[in-house]
Amino acid sequence: MIPADPSFDEVYPESSRGTQGDKGVRVITLDNPPVNALSFAYCAKLYETIEAAHADDSVEAIVFSGANGLFSGGADVNDFNSELPAGAVTIRDVIRAVELSIKPHIAAIDGVCLGGGLELALACDYRIATPRSKLGLPEIRLGLLPGAGGTQRLPRLIGARAGLEFMLKGSAVPAARVLELGILDELVEGDVVERAISLAKEIPPKRRISALEATIAPDVPMQAAPFVVAQAHKMVPPEENGGFAAHKLIDAVQAAVELPFAFGIAREARLFDELVRSKASLALRHLFFAERELDKIPPVILPFDSAQGRLAQDDTESVQPLTVGNAGVVGAGTMGSGIAITFAQSGTPVVIVDTNEEAVDKARQTVMGMFMYQVQKGRLTQEEAWQRGQSITFTDDWSELADADLVVEAVFEDLDVKREVFAKLDAIVKPEGLLASNTSTLDIDAMAAATKRPDKVLGLHFFVPANIMPLLEIVRGRATSAQTLATAFAIGKTLKKKAVLSGNAFGFIGNRMIFDYMREAFGLAEEGTAPARVDAVMKAFGFPMGPFAMSDLSGLDIGLHVQKLQGKSGQGRTNVLEQLVEQKRLGQKSMAGFFKYDKAVGKGREPIADPVVEQLFAQEARKAGIAPRVVTDREIRERLLYALINRGAYLLEEAVALRTGDIDIVFVYGYGFPPHRGGPMWYADEVGIARVYERIREFEAAFGPQWKPSALLTRVAESGGTFAASSCFDKLSMTPGGGVASGA
Question: What is the CA angle 301-306-308, rounded to 5?
Answer: 110
Per DSSP, the three-state class of 187 is strand
Q: What is the CA radius of gyration of the chain?
A: 29
Q: Judge whether 239 counts as a catalytic residue.
A: no
User: Contacts from 707-714 at CB under 8 Å and sequence distance 24+?
Assistant: 707/643, 707/646, 709/646, 709/649, 710/646, 710/649, 710/650, 710/653, 711/653, 712/649, 712/650, 712/652, 712/653, 713/645, 713/646, 713/649, 713/689
One-letter-per-residue 3-state SS of 609-665 = CCHHHHHHHHHHHHHCCCCCCCCCHHHHHHHHHHHHHHHHHHHHHCCCCCCHHHHHH
Q: What is the number of other CB atoms lying within 10 angstroms of the CB of residue 561?
A: 15
Q: Judge whether 51 counts as a catalytic residue.
A: no
Question: What is the CA angle 88-92-97, rounded to 5?
Answer: 100
Rounded Cα distance between 306 and 303, Å, is: 9
Rounded Cα distance between 348 and 408, Å, is: 13
> Could you give the dihedral angle defined by the CA atoms of residues 143, 148, 152 and 157, in that order, rounded to the nearest 10 degrees?
-110
Rounded Cα distance between 258 and 252, Å, is: 10
Mention every residue, 6+ apart, whose C-beta is less than 8 A from residue 245. Answer: 139, 140, 143, 144, 145, 275, 278, 280, 281
Q: What are phi and psi of 295, to 5 degrees?
A: -95, 10
Residue 591 carries which side chain, given as an amino acid letter?
M
CB 338 within 8 A of CB 462: yes
Rounded Cα distance between 492 and 460, Å, is: 9
Q: What is the number of other CB atoms lying within 10 angstroms of the CB of residue 290?
A: 24
Mention every residue, 6+ apart, whose C-beta is less than 8 A from residue 266. Answer: none
Residue 117's nearest CA partner among 132, 102, 100, 129 is 129
CB 29 within 8 A of CB 8: yes
Per DSSP, the three-state class of 358 is helix
DSSP character string of 246-268: HHHHHHHHHHHHHS-HHHHHHHH
DSSP 220: B
CB 29 within 8 A of CB 65: yes
The one catalytic residue among 119, 473, 520, 527: 119
CB 320 within 8 A of CB 483: yes
Residue 500 carries which side chain, given as an amino acid letter?
V
Mention every residue, 6+ apart, whose C-beta is less than 8 A from residue 30. Answer: 6, 36, 38, 46, 64, 65, 66, 67, 71, 72, 117
Q: Give the CB-side neighbour count of residue 531, counting CA atoms within 13 A.
A: 29
Residue 526 carries which side chain, given as an amino acid letter?
E
Q: What are phi and psi of 179, to 5 degrees?
A: -65, -45
Q: Give the CB-side neighbour count of residue 93, counting CA atoms within 13 A.
A: 18
CB 484 within 8 A of CB 501: no
Strands 392-395 and 304-305: unpaired
The one catalytic residue among 139, 291, 614, 654: 139
Rounded Cα distance between 437 and 475, Å, is: 9
DSSP character string of 14-52: TTGGG--SS--EEEEEE--TTTT---HHHHHHHHHHHHH
Would you name the residues annotated as active-site residues? Answer: 119, 139
